[in-house]
Amino acid sequence: MKYFVLGSSYVVRLDAGEKIIETLRALCERDVIGSGFFHGLGAVNDAELGHFDPATGDYSWTKLAGPYEIVSLYGNITVVDGKPFIHAHASLCDRTFAARGGHLREAVVSVTCEVTLTRFRDDITRKKDEATGLFKLALDPGGE
């Protein structure tokens, strides 16, 4: 991973074999990025996508071997338990060009992945929602 900083923005290149979520989390930890958002494109293998079913309160997961183009990748950055937390959704296409997408747990860069990331000044945290077990953005007054 290599990156270039332009004010509050980053241009990031992830290289073959690097895990997207893990690598972006490491960048946020290194540069103490406590909130922001990012987009990316490129190509991946071994992606894991999730779909949350509110009726069961659980994610179902699928593993996609690839090779895939990243058709869209958008995520946000927050802080949970003092560590950067990446929440990203993505859609991926194989050689049929059909798009498959969902919550992106992880994917491994196959050729390259190009990310633009905008950091904010302040930390934004998450708090566990007891009803769903999910960590939701803590934006309520008083940090709730």
Sites of contact with its own copies (CB under 8 A): 2-4, 6-7, 9, 11-13, 35, 37, 39, 41, 43, 49-55, 60, 62, 67, 69-72, 74-76, 87-91, 93-95, 97-103, 110-112, 114, 116, 118, 120-122, 124, 129, 132, 134, 136-137, 139-140
**Two tokens, residue 53:** 């079913």
Phi and psi torsions of 47, nearest 5°: -90, 145
Omega cis (within 30) before 67: yes
Minimum gap (Å) between residue 26 Cβ and its own copies = 16
CB 133 within 8 A of CB 45: no
Please state, in angstroms and rounded to a whole number, the distance separating the CA atoms of residues 134 and 28: 21
**Two tokens, residue 141:** 């007054």
Closest C-alpha among 17, 34, 16 to residue 25:
34
Nearer to its own copies among residue 81 and residue 122 (C-beta):
122
Nearer to its own copies among residue 29 and residue 137 (C-beta):
137
Nearer to its own copies among residue 22 and residue 132 (C-beta):
132
Minimum gap (Å) between residue 103 Cβ and its own copies = 6
